[in-house]
Every structure is written in structure tokens, then in C-alpha cells.
Amino acid sequence: MSLQIKVPEVGESITEVTIASWLKKDGDYVEQDEIIAELESDKATFELPAEAAGVLKIIANEEDTVEVGAVICEIDTEAKEGSKSSASSDKKEQVKAEPKKEEKKAEKEESKPSSSGSGSKKTGEVHEMVVPTVGESITEVTISSWLKSDGDYVELDEIIAEVESDKATFELPAEANGILKIIAQEGDTLEIGATICKIEVTEGGAPSAKKEGSADQSESKSSEVTTSGEETYATGHASPAAAKILKEKGIDPSNIKGTGRDGRITKEDAENAEKQQAKAPEAAKQEEKKQETPSAPKGERNQHREKMSSLRKTVARRLVSVKNETAMLTTFNEVDMQPIMEIRKKYKEQFKEKYEVGLGFMSFFTKACTLALKEFPAVNAQIDGNEMVFSDYVDMSIAVSSPKGLVVPVIRNAEKLSFNEVEAEVIRLAKKARDGKLSIDEMTGGTFTITNGGIFGSMLSTPIINAPQSAILGMHNIVERPVAVNGEVKIRPIMYVALSYDHRIIDGKESVSFLVRVKELLEDPTRLLLGI
């Protein structure tokens, strides 16, 4: 029996995931609950366990983006260890197993209506091919590549082009035997239903009369044969995964010999070619140096490209959305950090000895914000449609820089936590963020955010709101500056603080008053202990 494994629900707001990596190969025997793949959403990475023991058949490839509930693989539960299911053994890299052309053509002939039937295509008829429906939410596609040239003879069901949507790459088969006339060019973006090409229907194989120059083309093509000695559309053509690698690295596929089925260039071919051709730029550089003019720039001018992760693409999309959809303003103030620094200097050793965590600035700022948010609830609110949602609790989001990008884990009910409890939560969440082990629950539901650019040396910034929240507090570095204290100029450790807020829900008076209240609490920490 074949058991279908589907993409599980991994979070309330997550509708799709990307296949980060397969930990098992197609055809491998897997045990129940054994981790077989890693899935990556815009918020976290998840492990996919096998739901039964058996032979694995992979359906979705690495880097594919699939919706929650879609079938990602199958497990043949009747197969024993050491065996390989017939379905999985035939699978090749990015190329679907196809029947032989003769068998396929015979099947078509059997199912094909007679020449008098309304569904038959007559010789001389021009058949128009349109962009097919490739998914419920997909409204347009891009012509990734043509596998046949304009004027070529194509056979029914022969793959003639690859089209690419924002979710996947699809192969386009010919809908008739005949001469191809290309309408849409490579790189063109077309809506579903738009004309992509036409086929002048012919029967009895390729016509004897070729277009001028076609003999030369076929002669040159004859030198490029597959490993089986038979040319197909796949010969010398890169699979979608390989094409992406070659395009990103700027490698010409015409100089690569494919080792895949019928000479197709596989992902491994592309990766190997990348390594082999890595020496070519060095030789080119040496040649350039010889021909270099005095005005030419000197020194290394290397570049490299990296694919954006799902997390970074989502963060980028959300940041642009916030800038476009909110009335964001930023107000500033400065805080004299000397009272807090004196407390830390006096009690940090005793604090660490008792609670086994350091006494940092984050606990002071978190406590100050929770008290100020009670007085100015609009700063802790958010907009939902035509309504404003006010929370009588504070779920404090803390911005953390991780290897995969910026993440914002949440400290639940921060208003009820003590200084040591806040510090312990900050350390716990920051460690999980760096290890990439934050759960969905730990990443969602914040009502207010604090971000500390000061640890990287930032003096001043305008942080962007963490939607759907309405405000974010930015901390910065502490610098000794001359300030007036009771009519005298003194040197004090000063930090600039910034509050970015959504003017649709927070008025200027509220935003400024909130920041002033935070300043008062930080400059007189006794207020934090007394709650006044």
C-alpha cells in the first residue's frame, strides 16, 4: 500500500513551505518517525518525520514551494528493507519518466477520433496553443525557455517549452504534429489563456521540404547526440534546477555535456560545471590585466550571487508592506543612562550569583515599556479591519539577529515578569534564534517590539513597525556626551531612543508622552520597583 505524506499544518498564518533539504533519497527504506526532510517557512524550519516504515518515493524536489496539505512524498508500506519500489526506481533528476514514443503514439492513435470527428486536427490546419491553467492561484507565467526553434517540426506531446510561475516550473507539450511558429519569446510574461505559439498541422512525419538553413541546423545538431545515440528535446538542455544554478552563476549551458536522461543537463552537472569553470574567470582576469589601460580600475572586482532564503524574502515583503500601508512616523528622545549603570555596577555580581543570569539593559527597558503601555494603551493596540484591538497584557517582541536573518521572538505576559525572569527569557529566546530552533508559537502574537541597534554601534535610527503591531521602540548605543545638569555642563552616558508608530491609531501626543514616560522610568529606576 502506498501512503501519501502531506505538508502538515505548521502554524496558523503559514500557507506554504519550501523543501529545504531531503535527508533521505528517492527509493530509500525509511523507518516510522525517522526524519526524512526539512521544511522551511517564512518563520522557522521544521523536520518532517516518516509516518510509516517503507520505501520512500519523493514527489516534491528540494527548493520547491508547496502549499500546506499538498502531497510531498509517498511511502510504499508493503516494501521491505533493501527493496525499491518500481515507481521510485524510475525517477530521474527533474525529468519525468515517459513512455517510448512509439507506445505513446500508438496510444494516441487508439484514442484519437476519426478524421471526420470534430476533435481531429486536419493537415494544413493552424492549431493555436494557449497558456494552460497550471494552478488555482496562478494567473500568469513566464516563458523560461524554448526547447524547439521557430520553424521546427514537432510531434504530438513532445515537450517544446518550459514555463515558470512564482511557485514552480512546468513543461509545455505540443498539442499536434506539425511546424512550430513561436509567438511569445523567452522572458515574456503571459496571462493564463494567452496565445503562446501556433502549430501548422501535418501528418506522416516531418515534411521533406525544409526551411532555408534547416539542413545546416540539423547537420550541426547531429554532432550533439545523446548517450543512447538518439536526439530528443532534452539533449543539451538544462533541467529547471540546473538552469537556475547556471543562470545565477553566469555559466553558458551550451558548453556543458549533460549526463542525465537523453543528454539532459542535471543539477549535479551544473554544480560540477560551476567548479570546473571557476578557473576560467582567473584566466580571463590575467588576459584583462595584459590589455589593461592606465585608466582602467585596478584590484579585484569579483562578484557572487546568493539566493534569498524564504525568511529573508518574507521579511523584505513585509517591511515594504508596512511602509506602504501604515502612516508611520518616528519620535525621538534621549535617556541619561547613569542611574541604571550605577545600579548594574553595584548589584550585577550579587544578581548573577542569585539568579544565574546577568543584569542587562533589556530588563530595564522591558519593565519601563510595560508600565508606560498601561498608561498609553493605544501604543499597545493594533488595527483589525475597521476596528482597533486593545490588549490588557503585554507580549513583548524582542528583535534578534540570527544567521538566517532578523527574527522577533515573543516574551509572553512581560508585564508580570521580574527582572531576572525577563533576562532569562531573553537569553533563552536569543539562543534558540541563533540555533534556528524557534517554534511558531514563540514567533507570533507580540503586541509591542523592542529592537536594540546599539549592540552594533548604531547612534540613531528609525525602526520599522513589526506588523500588525502599531509601535516599536529602538534602543541605540550609549555615548558619553556633555549635557546641562542643574545649570552645569557634565559628561553623562547618553542613549538616544526612537519610537516609530502608526499615526492611524496613535496620536502625536500619545507617542511623545509614551516616550517621555519611558525616559522618566529609566532615569529614575526606583520608579520601576515601586511601579510609579
Catalytic-role residue among 42, 252, 507, 524: 507
Q: Report yes or no: 7 and 17 within 8 Å, Cβ to Cβ.
A: yes
Tell which residue, 2, 12, 130, has the closest CA to residue 73: 2
Between CA 230 and CA 462 the distance in angstroms is 63
Nearest to 366 by CA among 446, 439, 437: 446
A 10 A CB-CB count for 446 gives 23
- Cβ contact 38:48 at 8 Å: yes
Which residue, among 67, 271, 238, 275, has the nearest Cα to 162 in the 3D structure?
A: 238
The grid coordinates listed for 457 are 554601534
* Residue 503: active-site member: yes
What is the separation of C-alpha 532 from the centre of its chain, rounded to a whole number of angstroms?
Answer: 46
> CA-to-CA distance for 265 and 234, rounded, in angstroms?
8
Q: Which cell numbers in the block locate residue 125?
A: 490546419
List, in order, residues 6 or more apart from 411 with CB less than 8 Å away: 366, 395, 396, 397, 398, 417, 422, 425, 426, 429
The number of helix segments (H) and strand segments (E) in the chain equals 12, 27
Looking at residue 21, its amino acid is S
Distance CA 152, CA 150 (A): 6
Is 26 among the catalytic positions? no
Of 90, 166, 435, 503, which residue is the catalytic one? 503
Contact 337, 493 (CB under 8 A): yes
Distance CA 102, CA 308 (A): 44
Which of 309, 366, 441, 409 has its CA nearest to residue 14?
441
List the catalytic residues.
503, 507
